[in-house]
A and B are shown apart, each in its own frame.
Chain A
Amino acid sequence: MSLAIETLKLTKAYGRKARGIEGVDLAVEEGEVFGFLGPNGAGKTTTVRTLLGFLRPTGGRGEVFGLDIGKESVEIRARVGNLPGEFALEDKMTGEGLLKYFAGLRGVKDLGYARELSERLGAELHRPMRRLSRGNKQKIGLVQAMFHRPPLLMLDEPTGGLDPLVQEEFLDIIEEVKAEGRTVFFSSHNLAEVERVCDRVGIIRGGRLAAVETTETLIDKSLRHVVLTFEGGVDPKPFQDLSGIRDLKGDGNRISFTLYDDLDEMVKLAARHRLVNMEYERPSLEEVFLTYYERENGEG
């Protein structure tokens, strides 16, 4: 399968004041949905803006659909639908005006798909931007990124500000895009949506690509918050001795801890007692990052 995005030691240094990205090696296959994860300031936006030619790389190289990011950025942008992280538009413009303008720039004659997307996301196209809420602006941002059916979508925090129903509709659209064989590269802080639509994820930390994993692997590598409730009092010591257990708290018949290892030993130990309830909570994406980073640093 050919690559939609490929970077080799891609580096962008801003000087002393701010950190950019360093030596990023990334390969995103055509047709996959790739989640790009990392805490704020990790380098997600810098990577996307460098790929689109907004920032000049200070080292390494990158290609999008085999086109050089330095020399062929216009050709690249013709094939990409971009939603910036901080989506902003001229206050006077309406969504309708924006779509007509961008259709003019892209040579798109038929706005049928734009109207279909607007309807599905509930975007208000006839009000000026200054009168729209953040969520409504974001809907217009999504429509302008997708209306020309680009082979690659680059979406920075696409569901920020959207209500749950619209988020659900957006994820349906992403699945349709994937089914059409198009590629999606998106950053998100929402683990549930990453898990639902992404085939693989890349984790960036401190400007460096820490890992690229399948989504399943990422989730499996992460921690779980566990609360066990027993019929009678249970000694927490044997649980403390298990590998991968942290922050253990015992309170009579209730034991809570964070599990960083696989379940098997813990479940077997719990089964020696009469178990009344077991809560097994998925972590936030932030916790996944922290866990992952600690392991990478050999702290875990």
Chain B
Amino acid sequence: MSTTVDQGGRERRTPRGTLFALVSHTNRMQARSVIIWGAALGLYSAAMVASFTAIEGSADQLNQLMEAYPKGMLEAFGVTDLGDPANYLHSQFFGLAPLALSFFTILALAGALAGAEERGTIDVLLGNPLPRWQLVVGNFLATSFSLLGICAVVGLLIWGTAVLVDVELSLRHITDGVLNLWPICTVFGALALLCSALFHRRALAISIPAFLLFGMYLIDAVGRASEDLEDWRPASVFYYYGSAIEKGIDWMHFGGITLMALALVLLAALAFQRRDIYT
């Protein structure tokens, strides 16, 4: 345990020690959610992998059928070749997964500050020698770790199913696919944290990031389908998300989105440091 002794001879935990205690406690509290989210999304994605075996034999006919669809619509949903299990899984799961999984981070981080204020639990917690910035950063770190846990559960269920039903998906591609979910979901969680720090209302800390999440998804999806709106796509974080299960992780975009999340956390810490705590 990391401690220091103050002038009065009292032993005190170091800042690193309090941050560690906060993160490990938050992770323990989120463990159940990790299992539930991981199982729900993992079983859905596993079902998609299993369903690929049903269409695998008739992929050529399906692709011909797809050609009858407007090209823009197929591009909007990332459909290029349904005979390729990676593209099939991207169009059926990974393309949409951030819309669902971002709600894990949004709900968790909206509850960390504004939620704790509304429940009246924040005074008891901050009665401890815990700097405010640690409450922001610690919750972000813990939720990011939990998100990795969910991604791991989803990845294992996809891989296990692929092995079981003999679908050609490498562990490397699956890992890229699930890991690529992490930065985009983290950004919306960090935005919820910032809204929580700014407005101290849980409803706002959920609704603003949720609105932006769906708005950005639509901008990117419609931008892919329509040349008129294509110039808007870079304004959406989904533009930088790509299809890692097919093309591998674009580390430049991965790093950029992660930096964006960190910038939002920094702003949240600054905003929370300056304001009153409400109960």
Which residues of chain A have a CB within 8 Å of any CB of chain B? 49, 52, 54-56, 74-75, 77-82, 84, 86-90, 92, 101-102, 104-109, 141, 144-145, 151
| B224 CB, min distance to chain A CBs, angstroms | 43
The answer to whether B6 has its CB under 8 Å from any CB of chain A is: yes
**Cα(A152)–Cα(B2), bound, Å:** 24
| Min C-beta distance of A31 to chain B, whole Å | 14
From B120, B123, B129, B276, give the contact of A105 (CB < 8 A): B129
- In the complex, are the beta carbons of A105 and B13 less than 8 A apart? yes
Task: Please tell me which one of the listed residues B11, B13, B124 contacts residue A89 in the complex, with CB atoms under 8 A apart.
Answer: B124
Contact among B2, B13, B121, B274 with A88 in the assembled complex (CB-CB below 8 Å): B121
- Point out the residues of chain A lying under 8 angstroms from B120, CB to CB: 84, 86, 88
- Counting chain A CB atoms within 10 Å of each CB, the highest count among B3, B12, B123 belongs to B123
Contact A105–B8 (Cβ < 8 Å):
no
Which residues of A sit under 8 angstroms from B71, Cβ to Cβ?
A: none
Q: Please report which residues of chain B, range 17-76, place their CB below 8 angstroms from some CB of chain A when the two chains form the complex.
A: 17-18, 21-22, 24-25, 29
Nearest chain A CB to B143 CB, angstrom units: 16
Q: Are B119 and A107 interface neighbours, CB within 8 A?
A: no
Q: How many residues of B contact A (CB 8 A)?
A: 32
Select which of B6, B22, B29, B123 is within 8 A of A54 by beta carbon. Answer: B123
How distant is the Cα of A101 from the Cα of B25 in the complex, in angstroms?
7
Cβ of B272 to closest chain A Cβ, rounded Å = 12
Q: How far is the CB of A83 from chain B (nearest CB, A)?
A: 8
- The answer for the CA separation of A196 and B6 in the assembled complex, in Å, is 34
Chain B residue at minimum C-beta to C-beta distance from A141 = B124
Residue of A nearest to B18 (CB): A105
Q: How far is the CB of A79 from chain B (nearest CB, A)?
A: 7
Output the least CB separation between B13 and chain A (Å).
3
B270 to chain A, nearest CB (A): 14
Residues of chain A contacted by B119 (CB below 8 angstroms)? 88, 90
Minimal beta-carbon separation of A194 from chain B (angstroms): 23
Q: How far is the CB of A41 from chain B (nearest CB, A)?
A: 14
**B:123-178 near A, CB below 8 Å:** 123-124, 126-131
In the complex, residue of chain B having the shortest beta-carbon distance to the beta carbon of A149: B10
Q: How far is the CA of A75 from the CA of B129 in the complex (A)?
A: 7
Residue in contact with B276 in the complex, picked from A55, A88, A101, A102, CB distance below 8 Å: A55
Closest-CB distance, A259 to chain B (whole angstroms) = 41
**Chain A residues closer than 8 Å to B1, beta-carbon distance:** 104, 107, 109
Q: When the two chains form their complex, are residues A89 and B121 in contact, meaning their CB atoms are under 8 A apart?
A: yes
Compute how far the CA of A89 lies from the CA of B10 in the bound complex, rounded to whole angstroms: 27
8 Å CB contacts to A: which residues of B252-279?
274-277, 279
Residues from chain B with a CB closer than 8 A to the CB of A49 are: 123, 277
- Whether the Cβ atoms of A78 and B6 lie closer than 8 Å is yes
B127 to chain A, nearest CB (A): 4
Q: Knowing A79-B10, A92-B29, A101-B21 touch, does A86 contact B126 (C-beta < 8 A)?
A: no
Q: Are B127 and A80 in contact (CB under 8 A)?
A: yes
Complex Cα distance, B138 from A101, in Å, reads 14
Which residues of chain B are near A141, meaning CB under 8 Å? 124
Partner of B126, one of A77, A90, A107: A77
Residues of B contacting A81 with CB < 8 Å? Answer: 127
A-B contact pairs, 15 of them (CB 8 A): A77-B127, A79-B8, A80-B127, A81-B127, A82-B124, A82-B127, A88-B124, A90-B29, A101-B25, A104-B17, A104-B25, A105-B128, A107-B3, A107-B11, A107-B12
Q: Which residues of A contact B11 (CB under 8 A)?
A: 107-108
**Given A78-B12, A104-B21, A107-B12, also A90-B131 (CB < 8 A):** no
CB distance from A39 to the nearest CB of B (A): 19
Report the minimal beta-carbon distance from A142 to chain B, rounded to whole angstroms. Answer: 12
Q: How far is the CB of B61 from chain A (nearest CB, A)?
A: 52
B94 to chain A minimum Cβ distance, whole angstroms, is 32
Q: Are B124 and A52 in contact (CB under 8 A)?
A: no
B130 contacts across to A, CB distance below 8 A: 74, 77, 105
Further pairs besides A78-B6, A104-B24, A107-B12: 16, Cβ < 8 Å: A49-B277, A52-B127, A74-B129, A74-B130, A77-B129, A78-B10, A84-B279, A86-B123, A86-B279, A90-B119, A105-B129, A106-B13, A106-B128, A107-B2, A107-B11, A141-B124
Say whether, besides A79-B8, A90-B29, A101-B21, A107 and B13 are in contact (CB < 8 Å).
Answer: yes
Instruction: Give Cα distance in the complex from A25 to B217, angstroms.
Output: 56
Indicate which residue in B3, B8, B124 contacts A87 across the interface (CB closer than 8 Å). Answer: B124
A145-B127 Cα distance, complex, nearest whole Å: 9
In angstroms, Cα B12 to Cα A151, docked, is: 13
For residue A109, which residues in chain B have a CB less than 8 angstroms away from its CB? Answer: 1
Most buried by A among B1, B129, B277, B279: B129
Closest A-B pairs by Cβ, 6 of them: A107-B13, A82-B127, A104-B21, A78-B129, A88-B120, A107-B3
